[in-house]
Amino acid sequence: MIRYSGQSRLLIAIDCIIFGFDGHDIKLLLIQRGLRPEKGKWSLMGGFLEPAESLDDAASRILKKLTGLEGVYLEQLHAFGDPLRDPVERTISVAYFALVDIHRYEKQLSTEYHAEWFLLKELPELIFDHTTMVRMARRELRYKAALHPILFELLPQRFTIPQLQILYEGIYDTTFDNRNFSRKVLSTGLLIKQKEKDKANSKKGAFYYKLDKRKYKANFQAFLNFIPNPDKLLL
Amino acid sequence: MIRYSGQSRLLIAIDCIIFGFDGHDIKLLLIQRGLRPEKGKWSLMGGFLEPAESLDDAASRILKKLTGLEGVYLEQLHAFGDPLRDPVERTISVAYFALVDIHRYEKQLSTEYHAEWFLLKELPELIFDHTTMVRMARRELRYKAALHPILFELLPQRFTIPQLQILYEGIYDTTFDNRNFSRKVLSTGLLIKQKEKDKANSKKGAFYYKLDKRKYKANFQAFLNFIPNPDKLLL
DNA sequence: ACAAAAGTGTTACACGTACACCCATGG
DNA sequence: CCATGGGTGTACGTGTAACACTTTTGT
């Protein structure tokens, strides 16, 4: 077998920043590290890249191993390669962030991996550079969510506009005018109104909506500033 | 020395997508690959990660080795890890894209690395998955440039608004209304008007401008849609 | 009846776009 | 003195934000 000579080879890890939303707060799924060093400390779910799999495949595999979920939103965030980031041995980590509907995941919490949901605003200390990863993922999520209808990935199939608003308000740590918010969201044409109402949170009740998957996929582009007709330009 | 056991270790490459602008067209700097296989075919400038350097440092080193330039805009794009992307041996490539002022670089072209500027619209066939990398970089550049004043990195210190417009028009492959364009750009307050005019391209002459570096660095956030007061929200 | 959340109507205004028109200058 | 590209003034329309007000229903 021919190989490139004279070069060093390194471990490749994948780490997953897993976001969830319980209806009130944005949460992050963490595990208690099973390996030494830092055993017992909180960590992102991760693993090593295997010889025959792509980075995306590895991220999916690792996410599934922890949550049992498939087909969730998963996107490469950044590669982290500081020489000292892992004290055991030099390791490059490719971080992915995932958006999961927290309700689809109510299983082996605290069993095999000692996994637990933490409030994004009250995270424990994390191993290595995982805090940096989370900070970058959070920033990226804010960024993307401002331009793309990505946060629907965190909601159940059926949801109300007020629920969506609480989610957005959590992401941006602010409050919006509910009247304008619902109109703006509906004006995208991405939502399909259902017949039933959610009466858990108010007396009047808020209509449920579902995402129009076709339009959702088709409208994933941006609509921007600084350029006259951005809609027509960006792919 | 303790190491993680039972895991395979891989080569890490860095590849640089280097954009330039000559006043008319957007260009990409490519080299002729010196290694087998695919020796002689066109390729992005790249190299292997060395044991003691970070990914960013490696990208800077590789960029400097080819262009002699330091302090240019350089940003991680994506990690590519398809198991078969390099036929010699499995290699993870972390791609970076760079924006350089093409005028600062008029040196050893076609000497040590057989480097050459190609029109972005007329690239030759590239080795491995480099065409995919370029496509992603181009997309990212469009995306970022629509939100951030990033394209100034491609211009010399002193430039005119019409030059800037030609650059934007090249990126988005379209034309803009020059009257509105200049006003919009000036309204950002990022430009400082100079006393001299560039009379090379018109009889009246266009004033030169310089970038207000302080404001430039301060105003690197986005101003967006979908969210009521995005300016105040995104960091 | 009342409180509380959901949602509609209306208005003011900022901003993007279009375009008539003026400016400066070299040939 | 006119052709050419640079640039200003202005008018129009769309989209966003603000907020008064109506709807619905459990207690």
- Tell me the per-residue pLDDT of A210-222, one tens digit each, with 9 for 90 and over: 999 998 887 776 4
Question: What local confidence, expressed as pLDDT, does residue B1 receive?
Answer: 59
Q: Can you say whether the dihedral through the CA atoms of A195, A197, A198, A200 is positive or negative? A: negative
The residues that bridge with B21 in the sheet, in sequence order, are B26
B165: which nucleotide lies closest, measuring CA to C1'?
D6
Strand D nucleotides, any atom under 7 Å from protein beta carbons: they are 3-9, 15-20, 23-26
CB neighbours of A109 closer than 8 A, spacing ≥ 6?
A115, A116, A117
Whether residue B228 is predicted with pLDDT greater than 60 in this model: the reply is: no
Domain map (residue ranges) of chain A: 11-131, 157-225
A135 touches strand D (CB under 7 A): no
The C-alpha R_g of chain B, in whole angstroms, comes to: 20
Q: Which CATH number fits domain A157-225: 2.30.30.90, 3.40.50.80, 3.40.50.620, 1.10.10.10?
A: 1.10.10.10
Provide CATH code, domain B11-131: 3.90.79.10
CA distance A222 to A201: 33
Question: What local confidence, expressed as pLDDT, does residue A22 receive?
Answer: 93
A203 touches strand C (CB under 7 A): yes
Question: What local confidence, expressed as pLDDT, does residue A226 receive?
Answer: 36
Question: What local confidence, expressed as pLDDT, does residue A106 receive?
Answer: 66
Span B75-96, average pLDDT? 96
With cut-offs at 50, 70 and 90, classify the pLDDT of residue B219.
confident
Residues of A in contact with B177 (CB under 8 A): 228
| Predicted TM-score (pTM) above 0.85 | yes
Residues of B in contact with A79 (CB under 8 A): 55, 76, 79, 94
Question: What local confidence, expressed as pLDDT, does residue A1 receive?
Answer: 59
Residues of B in contact with A233 (CB under 8 A): 142, 146, 172-174
Cα torsion through A95, A101, A107, A109, rounded to 10: 50
Whether residue B223 is predicted with pLDDT greater than 60 in this model: the reply is: no
> How confident is the model over A133-170, as pLDDT tens digits?
999 999 999 888 888 889 999 999 999 999 999 999 89
Same fold for the pair A11-131 and A157-225 = no
In the block, residue with structure tokens 């637990």: A116
Cα torsion through A114, A59, A21, A85, rounded to 10: 70
B177 touches strand C (CB under 7 A): yes
Question: What local confidence, expressed as pLDDT, does residue A5 receive?
Answer: 81
Find out whether B44 and B113 touch, Cβ atoms under 8 Å.
Answer: no
Residues of A in contact with B225 (CB under 8 A): 146-147, 223-225
Question: What local confidence, expressed as pLDDT, does residue A48 receive?
Answer: 96
CA distance B88 to B86: 6
Note the Cα B200 to chain centre separation in Å.
Answer: 27
Q: Which uninterrupted H or E stretch holds B132?
A: helix B130-147
CA distance B6 to B135: 36
Q: Can you say whether the dihedral through the CA atoms of B139, B140, B141, B147 is positive or negative? A: positive
> In 3-state terms, what secondary structure has residue B221?
coil
Quote the mean pLDDT of chain B: 88
Q: What percent of chain B has pLDDT over 70?
A: 91
Secondary structure (DSSP) of chain A: -----S---BEEEEEEEEEEE-SS-EEEEEEE--SSSSTTSEE-EEEEPPTT--HHHHHHHHHHHHH---S-EEEEEEEE--TTSSSSS-EEEEEEEEE--GGG--SSTTSSS--EEEEGGG---BSTTHHHHHHHHHHHHHHHHHHS--GGGGS-SEEEHHHHHHHHHHHHTS---HHHHHHHHHHTT-EEEEEEEE-SS-SS-EEEEEE-HHHHHHT-S---SSSSSHHHH--
Residue contact B224–A54, C-beta within 8 A: no
- Measure A117 CA to D19 C1' (Å): 39
Question: What local confidence, expressed as pLDDT, does residue A232 receive?
Answer: 44
> In 3-state terms, what secondary structure has residue B7?
coil
Q: Can you say whether the dihedral through the CA atoms of A111, A115, A119, A123 is positive or negative? A: positive
A195 touches strand C (CB under 7 A): no
CA distance B19 to A185: 38
CA distance A22 to A101: 8
Nearest to A24 by CA among A145, A136, A117, A124: A117
**Euclidean distance between the first and the last CA atom of chain A, given in angstroms as a whole number:** 42
A204 touches strand D (CB under 7 A): yes
* Series of mean pLDDT values for 10-residue runs along chain A (235 residues): 83 97 95 80 95 97 91 97 95 97 71 87 96 96 85 95 93 88 88 92 93 85 45 39
- Measure B188 CA to D8 C1' (Å): 18
With cut-offs at 50, 70 and 90, classify the pLDDT of residue B106.
low
CA distance B210 to B162: 13
Strand C, CB < 7 A, residues 70-99 of A: none
The residues that bridge with A73 in the sheet, in sequence order, are A99
Closest CB from A3, A92, A177 relative to B89: A3
**Euclidean distance between the first and the last CA atom of chain B, given in angstroms as a whole number:** 42
Strand C, CB < 7 A, residues 205-234 of A: 205-207, 225, 228-229
DSSP B50: P
Whether residue B234 is predicted with pLDDT greater than 80 in this model: the reply is: no
CA distance B3 to B19: 40
Question: What local confidence, expressed as pLDDT, does residue B149 receive?
Answer: 87
B178 touches strand D (CB under 7 A): yes
